[in-house]
Amino acid sequence: MSPEGISAPKQQRSRDSFARVKAAALALLQDPDVVEFTLADVSRLSGASIGSIYTRVQSKSDLIRAVQMEEFDRIDRAAQTISDRADSARDFEDAVTQIVRALIGHLVENAAILRAFMRLSAGDEQITVRGRQSSDISEAAFITSLLNASDRWHVGADLSAVSWCYDLIYSVVGRHLGFGIAAGGLPRDPIAPSELADRLSDTILSFLLRAGSASTKSRS
């Protein structure tokens, strides 16, 4: 289904042309040196005429929403695989490490597009809503994975504790990836994703073991 404001092409040649238009818009959105762009910029980068672009979209905003829909559908499919990462874990520590690394890898891989749409969401409610839906999917996959691991190894961590772990990872990793920072800006002291994964895995493992122990004692 095409989003509102988009006229989906039917012929293969037209689909290929529109795919180049969306790819050009995506490249401009992710370019840290581009603060703002026009459909004329998209036209130059894609090789499609302005007239042909306007046969598919009514405005730049419609084009951006079409790009978001495709990209976030892809991101959502990838996020759902987070729950598979702990299937072959040797123990709870290994499961936590695998799940944390999967979420961090997911955020790192999609950092440029997530940063772009976080900036755009400030002025577009549709972009905001779609972004929240995508965030909910990755959060649910992470939480389900940790809860299943906790049950499998009888750790006893509850939903509240596991949800806090997601908030912690998203906040820390998001800061070092520049989420919510103006275009072109990054924190002054970013930590490499591999180091973040090591630190956060240790932190979350310790927290969940304590939280699980406290929860077990309270039920005794």
* Cβ pair 134, 72 in contact under 8 A: yes
Query: Do 114 and 209 sit in the same domain of this protein?
Result: yes
pTM to 2 decimal places: 0.89
pLDDT band, residue 216 (cuts 50/70/90): low
Which domain covers residue 159, as residue numbers?
67-219
Residues 88 and 109 in one domain: yes
**What percent of the chain is predicted at pLDDT more than 90?**
75
CA distance 73 to 53: 23
106 found inside a domain:
yes
156, 92 Cβ separation under 8 angstroms:
no
d(CA 10, CA 164): 46
On whether both 76 and 38 belong to a single domain, the answer is no
Structure tokens at 3: 């989003």
Tell me: do 107 and 165 sit in the same domain.
yes
Coil, strand, or helix at residue 57?
Answer: strand
Q: Does residue 163 lie within any of the structural domains?
A: yes
Q: What is the CATH classification number for the domain harbouring 162?
A: 1.10.357
pLDDT digits (tens, 9 = 90+) for 43-88: 999 999 999 999 999 999 999 999 999 999 999 999 999 988 888 9
d(CA 73, CA 55): 24
Q: Say if 5 falls within a structural domain.
A: no
HSE-up (13 A, CA, CB side) for residue 149 = 29
User: H helices within 31-110, ranges in order?
Assistant: 39-46, 50-54, 60-79, 92-109
- Interval 8-24: pLDDT, tens: 777 888 889 999 999 99
Residue-by-residue DSSP string for 107-162: HHHTHHHHHHHHHHHTT-HHHHHHHHHHHHHHHHHHHHHHHHHHHHTT----HHHH
Q: Is 33 left (phi over 0), alpha (psi -120 to 50) or beta?
A: alpha
